[in-house]
Amino acid sequence: MTITIYHNPDCGTSRNTLAIIRQSGEEPQVIEYLKTPPSRERLVELIEAMAMTPRALLREKGTPYAELGLGDPKWSDDEILDFMLAHPILINRPIVVSPLGVVLARPSEAVLDILPNPDIGPFIKEDGEVVIDADSKRVV
């Protein structure tokens, strides 16, 4: 089964998501989207598959969101896509694609919903947050 993660290795959520995927027994195709951004067509496909709008996929923290005035509702979906393509850091991450669906894995454990083997055993995030405890029970 092919799983793809649009990944930023500098992002803790992205690193945790990648670790969950690997702990499930899958070795995903890793696309460092800041180095290799998706095409406009692919970005639109991902947004549609997640049933969200381009605006909903915008990342604010650590991006030029404020300086570009992207909080202003005047920007159309096409214009927001243009900004994302010009500044890939504006694309929220990680996005994970599997044959079972596409998710913006925020929080990282959201990826469990589209993994073929979501029973990954105990998992603790980098920051110490328990996602799945020693009894393999998902902690909410």
Beta bridge partners of 96: 5, 103
Which amino acid is it at 121?
Answer: G
74, burial (CB in 10 Å: exposed 0-12, middle 13-18, buried 19+): exposed
Contacts of 42 (CB under 8 A, 6+ apart): none
| Count of helix runs (H) and strand runs (E) in the chain | 4, 6
11 is catalytic: yes
Active-site hit among 3, 11, 18, 58? 11
Contacts of 69 (CB under 8 A, 6+ apart): none
Q: What stretch of H or E contains 29? A: strand 29-32
**Residues acting as catalytic residues:** 11
